[in-house]
Chains A and B, each alone.
Chain A
Amino acid sequence: MKNGFWIFLAVFVALGGSWCGFVLAPELQLGGAKQTIILNSSDVYPVGRPGEANQGLSVYRANGCAACHTEQVRQTGIACDVTLTDAGKNPEAVTNLISSLALTNLTKEDADKAVDKITAAGAKAEIHIVATGPDIARGWGMRQSVAEDYLYGQPVQLGSLRAGPDLANIGVRAPDANWQLVHLYAPSSVVKGSTMPPFRYLFEVRKAGAMPSPDALQFPKEFASPAGYEVVPKPEAVELAAYLLSLRATVPLYSAPIAP
């Protein structure tokens, strides 16, 4: 390479190639994505977040929550579970048969065999497809996260570190707004040994007065605020809690089929 032109050309080709591959091509493939149909249903997914939850996403972004929390569930594979739906005319024989069979975490062939045996005994059984993997076993989700889940994120907050637990389905795991707010105000009051920093600046501590605020936090007994005082969430805290409650990605999709 004797002159600047050749360096420039080499760099242009290399960088341009990766730009086409990881900027242009993903945009062409996914940039026009629309809502999809939920499997075995006519409903569409995802639906846009209500305004308050959308505001909450910007509180989430502003405070850098994604520094410690991911919003993506991984699965390592799928397995079949067999469940009995009808014991038939000879329940005792079926019970004995079932106790001798493995019914969870099977491959498709084994599940088919088990169903055949149960059907031969005069009972009826169904196969459920479930996702497997440590994240699923921890109850962080029912299936892996897929591109469809993030259609309305602005910005998309996937995160890259689990200093705290995954939040892709926190709205399913902790659907109580008061719990979310108490957790934001004093994490260790509801999660023993939590290392999350408290977000007290999102709340206001004030004298309860004659008319206590209906929005005041309800603490667990041993953490109750001193008599005559109450902790009231500021709008940012309410929005953030609404956003957290909106995080739920449980429906089966074509790209992540499950049949629970």
Chain B
Amino acid sequence: MIVNEKSDNNIGGASVPVPHCGISGLAPPIDASLRVPLLALFGGAALWLVLGSVLGLMASIKFHAPDFPAHCPWLTYGRVQAAADDALLYGFCIPAGLGVALWLFAQLGQAPLRGAMVPVVAAKLWHLGVLVGLAGILSGNSTGFAWLEFPRAGSVILFFAYLLLALWAMMNFAARRERALYPSHWFLVAALFWFPWIYSTANLFLVAWPVRGVVQAIIGWWFAGNLLFVWLALAGIGTAFYFLPKFSGCPLQSYYLALFAFWTLILFGTWCGIPPGAPVPAWMPVLSSFAAVLTVVPVLAVATIAWQTLCGSINCEPRGGPFCFIRFGLMSFGLSSLMLIAMACPRISRVTEFTWFGPAQTQLQLYGFFAMTMFGAIYYLLPRAVGFELPFPKLARAQFWISTAGVVLLVLPLAIGGVEQGMKLDNFNIAFMDATKAMLPFLRTSTIGLLLILLGNSLFALNLFAMTFVWEKSLVKKAFAVVTAPLEKPSASASLRRDRAEAGGEGGEVKV
């Protein structure tokens, strides 16, 4: 066990040399093998990220002008808001998490991705599923269940695309050269396994063969809790546990605490989600609240690990942009989890239930925690995988501040306003309309937050698409160089071939 622990720490620790990040367009074979699948996953994800924030902004504008397009059924609030949420979750968060998981498996297992075409196909399929699903919601074919709005056609495509990706990731996990497991492995393997189970359960029992009555709501809460809290926590924390030692230069503190956090998270987190006071038999909300209070244990464990790993830092090398993103993501994880736990306590829930406090918590979890962690991870790994530096590193730094300000301006007004709204709703002497009107300034402030988030997302997408473009341009250049290479000089062509081999066989075959 001790031997194991040592080697575990080494994988994520400082002793592993950071792969060289060449500006020459060459990447080491492990990174290079992931280039195309990652670009396919992240490219589509960036597109949905921007689209989702545009939709969110449109929904928010309704609080300034309820009449804004009143004649267009596609743009009514209920549809646009659902589409915005799903575009962020299914469009960005899940494919980004899967891409990062693929890269981490390859890095930790020291084995290049085999059969890169399969994840590429799966990624395209996934983004097609999101397209079908979003079109379904906007055209009025939503299923009516929160976080499961995609109509049947969309969710079937998503399910099989996920299955394909997860199976491929698991096969590469099984084929790893470095056999010892690192804590990130547990979290990511669990996340890979989690989604098909909960997604198929929810779709079968709510959409395909719907159960009767309030059981639908119970299964809906179970699904949403498991997807939004557990899946995102597994994928996000798993990623953070890989990067924390990289940034601090000190191994993860510690292996056993991480194991403890993992176990308690999947034991308690899975039971969260049923609100106190729900119109269901009393044992369900009681059990769920109990589990939610216990969820404070894994949250504290993760906080301790992050604190000790970062404080044990021995070298103070520049931590840069990715570190800022991941640190902010971890802080948001702690805060959003505490908000979730508070909302499960009957006394607090009496005030916060049915208010904007709930959406504030969800946004902090989805964007503040998960999306920010993914931004950090992608900014770190993409230059290594593609083999080029970020085209606009300054914009990446700017995105951190813009997105941070956006999250604060989105979540803080909604949370404060939600508490005020809840206290007004709890006092029946205050008319409902007054409680709603008191919320409007907060909602209007949050529009600024959404605007900043849109700007931040656009900068992310810009960097990503520019990088894809630079890489494609280099491919064309290489191909052109190969085609125009003089044939009568065998020695030159041989050296070219050797260069190709060193580059990891990228850039097309040289045929003489």
Contacts known (A63-B76, A134-B426); A30 close to B215, Cβ less than 8 A: yes
In the complex, what residues of B have CB within 8 A of residue A4's CB? 173-174, 181, 189
Instruction: Tell me whether B140 and A153 are in contact (CB under 8 A).
Output: no
> Which residues of chain B have a CB within 8 Å of any CB of chain A?
4, 62-63, 66-68, 70-73, 76-79, 81-82, 137, 140-146, 173-174, 180-181, 185-186, 189-190, 193-194, 197-198, 201, 205-206, 210-219, 221-222, 226, 259, 262-263, 266-267, 270-271, 273-275, 277-281, 284, 287-288, 350, 353-356, 358-359, 425-428, 432-433, 436-437, 439-440
Instruction: Tell me whether B140 and A63 are in contact (CB under 8 A).
Output: yes
For B81, give its contact among A7, A64, A152 (CB under 8 Å). Answer: A64
Can you offer 17 A-B residue contacts whose CB atoms are under 8 A?
Answer: A7-B185, A11-B190, A17-B267, A21-B271, A31-B215, A76-B350, A137-B428, A138-B432, A150-B217, A154-B210, A155-B144, A155-B210, A161-B355, A162-B355, A194-B433, A198-B66, A198-B67
Majority-rule SS of B interface residues = helix
Majority-rule SS of A interface residues = loop
In the complex, what residues of A have CB within 8 A of residue B222's CB? 18, 22-23
Contacts known (A68-B77, A161-B355, A201-B72); A27 close to B215, Cβ less than 8 A: yes
State the 3 A-B residue pairs at the shortest beta-carbon distance, nearest first. Answer: A64-B78, A18-B270, A62-B140
In the complex, what residues of B have CB within 8 A of residue A74's CB? 277, 353
Instruction: Tell me whether B211 and A27 are in contact (CB under 8 A).
Output: yes
Instruction: Tell me whether A134 and B427 are in contact (CB under 8 A).
Output: yes
Q: Closest approach, in angstroms, between the C-beta of A135 and any C-beta of chain B?
A: 8
Within 8 Å of chain B (Cβ to Cβ): is A66?
yes
In the complex, what residues of A have CB within 8 A of residue B437's CB? 193, 195
Within 8 Å of chain B (Cβ to Cβ): is A40?
no
Within 8 A of B (CB), among A141-177: 144-165
In the complex, what residues of A have CB within 8 A of residue B427's CB? 134
Instruction: Tell me whether B280 and A26 are in contact (CB under 8 A).
Output: yes
Instruction: Tell me whether A11 and B266 are in contact (CB under 8 A).
Output: yes
Distance, CA A241 to CA B395, complexed state (A): 51
For A23, give its contact among B63, B189, B205 (CB under 8 Å). Answer: B205
Contacts known (A14-B270, A26-B218, A63-B78); A160 close to B146, Cβ less than 8 A: yes
Within 8 Å of chain B (Cβ to Cβ): is A179?
no
For A145, give its contact among B144, B194, B279 (CB under 8 Å). Answer: B279
Instruction: Tell me whether A153 and B216 are in contact (CB under 8 A).
Output: yes
Instruction: Tell me whether A161 and B358 are in contact (CB under 8 A).
Output: yes
In the complex, what residues of A have CB within 8 A of residue B266's CB? 10-11, 14-15
In the complex, what residues of A have CB within 8 A of residue B62's CB? 197
Within 8 Å of chain B (Cβ to Cβ): is A70?
yes
Distance, CA A151 to CA B279, complexed state (A): 12
